[in-house]
Amino acid sequence: MILNLPFIAVAVLLLIGFYGLLFKDNLIKITMSVVIIEGAVNLFLVSLGYVEGAVPPVYTMAPFEEPMAFAVPQALVITAIVIGIAVTTLMLALSVRIYQTYGTLDTKEVRRLRG
């Protein structure tokens, strides 16, 4: 069971991320919880393609007679990380505009529509 350590880490990170997303009120804490959940999902995708005792899938001066890790999950995670950056930027920009309009960052106060 100790060998499944990356999958256990994914489960713990998902717990922390979902707790912050559901039970916290500040907008910045909600943004940080979304970032933690994205990190957990990327870690899960990368650790799916690992072979025992593997080297990176690059042929330049690679060691002899060792298996190579799978290449497709690593390419998909590069795309997912960049998309995560874009989503985080948009969330922070919207938080700045909410603070300029309402004067507070508490989600319980910004529920009423203001004329």
| Count, residues near another protein per rule CB under 8 A | 49
Token readout for 25 is: 């009120």
CB of 113 to another protein, least distance (A): 19
CB of 78 to another protein, least distance (A): 6
Beta bridge partners of 57: none
**Angle ∠(25,29,34) on CA atoms, nearest 5:** 115
DSSP 3: G
51-80: contacts with another protein (CB under 8 A): 51-52, 56-62, 64, 68, 70-72, 74-76, 78-79
Q: How far apart, in whole angstroms, are the C-alpha atoms of residue 105 and residue 111?
A: 11
13-52: contacts with another protein (CB under 8 A): 14-15, 18-19, 22-23, 47-52
The three-state DSSP-derived secondary structure of 78-104 is HHHHHHHHHHHHHHHHHHHHHHHHHCC
Interacting residues toward another protein by CB under 8 A? 1, 3-8, 10-11, 14-15, 18-19, 22-23, 47-52, 56-62, 64, 68, 70-72, 74-76, 78-79, 82-83, 86-87, 89-90, 92-94, 96-97
